[in-house]
Amino acid sequence: MSGTLVLVRHGQSEWNLKNLFTGWRDVDLSEKGVDEAKAAGQKLAARGLKFDIAFTSALVRAQRTCQFILDATGQSDLRTIRDERLNERDYGDLNGLNKDDARKKWGEEQVHIWRRSYDTPPPGGESLKDTGARVWPYYMHDMQPHVLRGETVLVAAHGNSLRALIMALEGISGPDIVSLELGTGVPMIYRLNADSTVASKEILEG
Catalytic residues: 10, 88
State how beta strands 4-9 and 152-157 pair.
parallel
- Number of residues assigned to the chain: 206
Decide if 13 contacts 30 (C-beta within 8 A): yes
Residues 6+ apart with CB under 8 A from 193: 1, 2, 199
Q: Report the C-alpha gap between 128 and 149 in whole angstroms.
A: 29
- Give CA torsion, residues 88, 46, 199, 138, to 10 deg: 30
Decide if 23 contacts 91 (C-beta within 8 A): yes
